[in-house]
Structure 1
Amino acid sequence: MNYPLYIVDAFTNEKFKGNPAAVCIVDEPKSERWMQQVAAEMNLSETAFIEQGAEHYELRWFTPIAEIDLCGHATLATAHILWETGRLPQHETARFMTKSGLLTAVHKGDWMEMNFPSEPPEAAVAPEELIQGLGLIPRYVGRNRMDYFVELDSEDTLRTLRPDFGMLARLSARGIIVTSRSTNAAYDFVSRAFFPGTGIDEDPVTGSAHCALAPYWAKRLRKQELTGYQASERGGIVKVRPDGERVYLQGQAVTILRGQLEG
C-alpha cells in the first residue's frame, strides 16, 4: 500500500527557508515502530503522521529517533497540506487530536493560525550542564514541562552562540530555548532552539518553543501581539498572541515535494 507523502517548509513563504517537515497521510493505524522507521528515513526534525477520524484528525510527530509530545511546524505543515490538496476546505477549521490534546488551525488571509497550549517558563536554577553547554552566564533561566528557557543579554550573543551539544544532551529536558530582544524593529524578539537529546542539535524554526516565548515576552514587553524571528541558518517568522492558557501562533508554509511512500 502507498501513502501520500509531502515535504513542507513551515514558518516561511520561501522555499528552502523555515523548517522542513514531512507529512505522511495514512488511512489506518500504523505501528510506532513503522512510524519511527519512516521518520528516521526522512531524517527531518519532525515527520507528522495523520489519520482522518470522524470529528478530527489523529496527529503524531516523530523526530529521527523519538516521538514527541508537541510540534508546531509539523502541525502547520499538516494543516497546509490538508487545505492545499483539497482534503479540507479552506474555510473549515483543521482539528487535530494529539498527545498535547486538541489543537486547531484556521486560515487567516495569507497566514495560518494555530491554537496551542501556553507553556510559560518558571524561574529555575541553571544546571551546570546548561552553563557549560552554552558557555555563558544567562540573564534569566526558566523551565517549563518540556524545555529549559534562557534569556541572553543581546541578539549578537544569541546569533554567535556555539553550544556544546554533547553537554546540552545531558540535560533532563526535551531541549533548550534561547532568546533575546530583537535589534530589528520588524521583530519583538529573536530565538534559537536546541534539541540534541532528541537527535536535533538545532531546530530551524520551533513552533512549540513559541508557546513559552509568547507569554514570556508579552509580559516583558507589555504587548499582546508580537512577532518573533528564529535566527537559525534557515530562519523563520512566527507571529504570536497569548490568550490565557492558550497561545495563537501564525505562520506561512510552502510545499516543496509531493510523492508516495511505499508501505
Structure 2
Amino acid sequence: MLMTELMMVDAFTDRPFHGNPAAVCFLDAFPGDAWMQQAAMEMQQSETAFLCQEGPDYRLRWFTPDVEVDLCGHATLAAAHALWETDRVPLQSEIRFHTRSGLLTARRQEDWIRLDFPSEPVVPMECPPGLAEALGTAEIGFTGTNRMDLLVEVADEETVRRLKPDYALLSAIPVRGVLVTARSDSSGTDFVSRCFFPRLGIPEDPVTGSAHCALAPYWASKLGKRIFTAKQCSAREGTLRIELTETRMLLYGQAVTVLKGNLLPPPRR
C-alpha cells in the first residue's frame, strides 16, 4: 500500500515546539473533501495543508479540524518549508501556490521565508454587542472588520496578554476570528496580538499569518511606517516580519520540521 507522506512543521519560529504547528500532506491528486476534513480532524492542529502539484505550481488547501478556510499564513509557510526540505522544489526557486485566496508565492531569503499575501485592511465598525464581555475587558478602543475578521485595539500590551476570553460568547460574533492588538511595550517590536477563532474550532491560534493581512495595514496608518516586527503573544509565541506594498503584504517567517511520517492513503475516487 502506497502511503501518503506527511510532515509536521512549527511555523514562525526557529525553535521546535514554539510558533504555530501545521501538518503538511503531499497528495498526487485531491481526494474528496470529506477525507481531507477527516485527516485534518485526526491531525488536531489548527491547520492542515494539503498540497498537490499542478505543472510547475502547487494547488494548496487548508483545513482546520472543523472546516476548510480561505487563507492561512502559517500553514502556507509550513508548506513552502516542506517543499524545499524534501527537495521537491530547488532552494533558489520561487513556489507558486494556487488557493481560494488567489495566487500566493514563497521565496527563501537566507534563513527566512517570504510569503506574498494580499493586504486586507479593516474598515471601522461599532463595537459588537457582547464583545467586551466575551473578551473579559472593558478596555476596547477601535473595532473594525474586513471580509474575514474583527480587529480590536486595546489599551496596551499587558491587556492583550492577560485576556481570558469566554469562547462560547466569542463564537457568537459572526466573523472568522477576533484579532486583539496593541502597540508593543518592547523595543524592537512594533505591535502585539492574540487571535481567537472559536467558530473554526480553534479557541486561540498560536501564530496567525493571515491575521496580519489586517493587522499590518491597520498599524501602518497609526504608526506611519510600512515595515514592522510583530509578536503574537500566545503561549507558544511567534515573531513575524512584515513589509507592506500598495496592495500586498510581504510576510517573513522561519520554520522547523518536528516530525516526518506517513498517513494511510485516501480512497480512490
* Shorter-chain TM-score tier: over 0.9
Give the aligned partner of residue 195 of structure 2: 193
| Structure 2 length-normalised TM | 0.96
User: In the alignment, which residue of structure 1 is the partner of 2:39?
Assistant: 38
Q: Deviations over 1:76-108 (max 9, x none)?
A: 000001111110001100100000000000001
Aligned position for 2:156: 154
Matched position secondary structure for 1:119: coil
Distance, in Å, in 2 between the alignment partners of 1:55 and 1:120 is 31
In the aligned structure 2, how far is the partner of 1:190 from the partner of 1:15?
22
Q: Which stretches of structure 1, 4 residues or longer, exceed 4 Å deviation after superposition?
A: none
Amino acid at match of 2:227: E
Please tell me the root mean square deviation across aligned C-alpha atoms, in Å: 0.8
State the distance in 2 between where 1:260 and 1:139 align: 47
Equivalent position of 2:78 in the other structure: 77
- Structure 2 gap ranges (5+): none
**How many angstroms apart in 1 are the aligned matches of 2:47 and 2:130?**
26
Name the count of aligned residue pairs: 263
- Provide the rounded CA distance (Å) in 2 between the counterparts of 1:261 and 1:136: 43
Instruction: Provide the C-alpha distance between the structure 1 equivalents of 2:224 and 2:56, rounded to a whole number of angstroms.
Output: 38
* Counterparts of 2:258 and 2:137, CA distance in 1: 38
CA distance in 1, matches of 2:170, 2:78: 28
- Percent identical pairs in the alignment equals 52
Match of 1:261 in 2: 263
After TM superposition, the structure 1 = structure 2 runs for residues 64-103 of structure 1, keeping only pairs within 5 Å, are 64-103=65-104
Give the aligned residue type for 2:218. Answer: Y
**Aligned partner of residue 103 in structure 1, secondary structure:** strand
2:226 matched to which residue of 1?
224
Aligned: 1:63 with 2:64: yes
- Distance in 1 (CA, whole Å) between partners of 2:194 and 2:10 is 17
Q: Which residue identity does 2:6 align to in structure 1?
A: L
Contact map agreement 2:137 2:163 (CA 8 A) in 1: no
* Contact kept in structure 1, 2:239 and 2:253, CA below 8 Å: yes
CA shift for structure 1 position 127:
1.1
Match of 1:143 in 2: 145
Structure 1 residue 136, shift from structure 2 partner: 2.7
Query: Deviations for 1:201-247, whole angstroms, at most 9, x for unmatched residues?
Result: 00000000011111111121111110000000000001011111110
Report deviation, 1:70. Answer: 0.2
TM-score w.r.t. length of structure 1: 0.99
In 1, Cα distance between equivalents of 2:80 and 2:91: 10
* Amino acid corresponding to residue 176 of structure 1 in structure 2: V
- Residue 90 of structure 2 aligns to a residue in which SS? coil
The SS at the match of 1:139 is strand
- Corresponding letter in the other structure for 2:159: T
Q: Secondary structure at the match of 2:115?
A: strand
CA–CA separation in structure 2 for the residues paired with 1:89 and 1:187: 33
Shift of 1:166: 0.4
Give the alignment of 1:158-237 within 5 angstroms.
158-237=160-239
Which amino acid in structure 1 is aligned with residue 95 of structure 2? Answer: A
* Residue 155 of structure 1, CA deviation: 0.3
Q: Could you tell me whether the CA contact under 8 Å between 2:148 and 2:177 is conserved in 1?
A: yes
Deviation string for 1:120-162 (max 9, x for gaps)? 1110111113222112341100001000000010000110011
Q: How far 1:55 sits from its partner (Å)?
A: 3.6
User: What SS does the aligned partner of 2:36 have?
Assistant: helix
Gaps of 5+ in 1: none
